[in-house]
Structure 1
Amino acid sequence: MATALWTWVAGGLLLVPVAEPAKPAPSKADEPLASRYDPLRAAAYLDGVAVHWTRERQCISCHTNMLYLAVRPRLGGEDKSWREVRAFLEKQVQSWSQGGKPRGDTYVVVTAFALSLHDAFTSGKLQTSTRAALDRMWQHQRESGEWNWLKCDWPPLEHDDYYGAVLAAVAVGYAPDRYAETPQAQAGLKRLRQYLERTPPPDLHHAAMLLWASTRLPGLLREEQRRQIIADLKSRQQRDGGWALPALGHYKRRDGSPNDPQAPSDGYATGMVTFILLQAGLPPQDPVLVKARQWLLQHQRDSGRWFTRSLNNDKAHYITNIGTAFCVLALQQFPETR
């Protein structure tokens, strides 16, 4: 199925067909590796998962389309898919202002995060819908500083309040036009800072997310804390240059069995840690990051994704989706693959 797009050619406008993004097949550990890194395959994969998830589920989720808007415009090519996802979120935000009820605190924070990073990574201007989503986010904040996060027992993204708090911090930190200095943000950030100060990260995954937030909101970490998180992340790098998600926390599977901290390196952990270490100021020439970049270049799959095994069960490896987005973000920080 194809839609149409007007484009300029010599002599005027021409109506040309634009293919609908294909829905990717389920993620599998045995999918063949690609012969080389191909950002266009990554773009096609991300379009497929984000557009079809948004249409079919009518929602935004941490593991599938939350990071999509930050990544996809940077890959170039057609913009119909990411504009569709953006329009969906803007419509959701508009409905809240007209008396509609959000699906919960988590949904509001994730929406604000997606729109804020999209603004930061594209126009650099805070759009009206983004400001509205961020302002709405503070209305759902608890007096204790955090949000009532989804607790589906799906670590590391949907199982505790800490992740929601640090995700909100990242969203505000990236918001353009000095949004963090507005009265609404200042009041909310005061509560959020107090929560993060008295609540230590429960695992290294969440500590890495706090490190990311601290690169946008000064004062979240003391220098010795910052150095310790970086050292801890470096120490978990595997010999092949990647990281394994089970090594970033103590997670049990739905059947009660433990996840193996010595599991093979995966896309989510490697992409996330590499990107955050770069944001924290490590130079691309750091030996840890040189090895990480090589792993990322060598482990894209034929479909365009980087595989990550679910921490919960083997029915659907949805974390592969946000993992792929992190892999692309990480590679774009290196001059050689920008």
Structure 2
Amino acid sequence: MHVVNTRINSLIFVSALLAACSTGLVIGEEPQILKVSSEEAVASNYSHQRAVDFLDRTAMAWTKKYKCFTCHTNFAHLIAVSELDQQPEYFQKIRNSLNELVQTRWREKGPRWDAEVVMAAMTLTVVDRNLSEPLSQNARLALDQMWQVQQPHGGFDWLKCDWPPMESDDQYGAVVAAVAVSAAPATYLQQKQVQNGIEKLKSYLSQSRKQKLRLHHRAILLWAQSLRPGWMNQQEIDSTVAALTSLQRPDGGWNTPSLGKWGREDGSVPDLVTSDGYGTGFAVLMLTKAGLKSDNVAIRNGLAWLKKNQRQSGRWYTRSVSRDSRHFLTHAGTAMALMALQACGEGEEN
């Protein structure tokens, strides 16, 4: 019997190793940025741990290789995994790198872009909140710097690299800033500089401008509203929820390009119908921020899509909204999927 059990255990180990190798993800090896392909096989079952491992190792590899922070990879990673009961292996190293960016590089060389300031402020503040920690010195530094780079009209000069939904227009920066300050503790908000900044930001996000925001950006205000009310009235909340739910695909997922109707930089016709990881994770997450529960039919169908469409590596594939040379939105899509599942109590395997 011992021999039989040993052989069975060996077969299980070999099968698991072969599955990991087939995706390029081998735990124990140096983290690397895996090539993203729509051809990667769908996993036979949903695995929370595989998703966490993929996101953690990818963010570590990105941080080490490029020595910068991006909306689609390591910023997204820190926000997503800080919500977990236990943070993964590389979380603290990546968090330390962001702290070093704010504390040292900004002091010596200044921020690379205003977008880096706002994203750092949002990420550090949300991470502190997720971990039930007081506002850290570096989060405060980043928030204070955010008000320094705020434009006179109340918005922010954002990256316009034709990489939507994050790096394509100024409106995205404004809604991210709203999340950043809404995640901060009340004691921080008492400062005159902060109150002035919030007033300017709310003036920029006027009712008329909010109506013109891409749905993707307007939905992020649901997140800000859930943290600190005052960014949307009930009619705006209801209309945003209705717009999001109306775009759910028959298979239960959502399609990222349909959330903003961005044109493709490569000139090809946008695919506005195929469900993907980022669109589905994002929509489910923002609907939960608006108060929808996991028994809501739209949420339930979205969660089912996520559980059925995870790839073998642990990620959820999302085609680039702009061009097919890079599909890094898959990284952010994996973060959004994890956050959506976590928000609905579906984080662990079940």
Normalising by structure 2, we get a TM-score of: 0.87
The equivalent residue for 1:92 is 101
The equivalent residue for 1:270 is 280
Contact 2:81 2:87 in 1 (8 A): no
Which of 242, 254, 274 is residue 231 of structure 1 equivalent to?
Answer: 242
Q: By how many angstroms is 1:179 displaced?
A: 2.6
* Distance in structure 2 (CA, Å) of the matches to 1:214 and 1:42: 28
Asked if 1:317 corresponds to 2:327, the answer is yes
Asked if 1:213 corresponds to 2:224, the answer is yes
CA distance change for structure 1 residues 178 and 258 in 2, over 3 Å: closer, same or farther? farther
Q: Which has the higher strand share?
A: 1
Give 5+ residue unaligned stretches, structure 1.
Answer: 1-17
Contact 2:33 2:61 in 1 (8 A): no
Which of 111, 117, 132 is residue 126 of structure 2 equivalent to?
Answer: 117
Contact 1:169 1:217 in 2 (8 A): no
The equivalent residue for 2:6 is none
The equivalent residue for 1:259 is 270
Partner SS, residue 74 of structure 2: coil
Aligned residue identity for 1:220 = W
The equivalent residue for 1:155 is 164
The equivalent residue for 2:200 is 191
* Distance in structure 2 (CA, Å) of the matches to 1:336 and 1:248: 24
CA distance change for structure 1 residues 20 and 142 in 2, over 3 Å: closer, same or farther? farther
* Distance in structure 2 (CA, Å) of the matches to 1:295 and 1:105: 36
Aligned residue identity for 2:107 = Q
Asked if 1:242 corresponds to 2:244, the answer is no
Q: Which has the higher helix share?
A: 2
Equivalent positions of 1:2-21 (< 5 A) are: 19=28
Contact 2:34 2:58 in 1 (8 A): no
Which of 106, 127, 145 is residue 136 of structure 2 equivalent to?
Answer: 127
Superposed CA deviations along residues 35-70 of structure 1, whole A, max 9, x for unmatched, are 211111111111121111111111111111112112
CA distance change for structure 1 residues 216 and 56 in 2, over 3 Å: closer, same or farther? same
Aligned residue identity for 1:123 = S
Q: By how many angstroms is 1:178 displaced?
A: 4.0
The equivalent residue for 1:165 is 174
Contact 1:21 1:81 in 2 (8 A): no
Contact 1:152 1:159 in 2 (8 A): yes
CA distance change for structure 1 residues 78 and 168 in 2, over 3 Å: closer, same or farther? closer
Normalising by structure 1, we get a TM-score of: 0.90
Partner SS, residue 332 of structure 1: helix
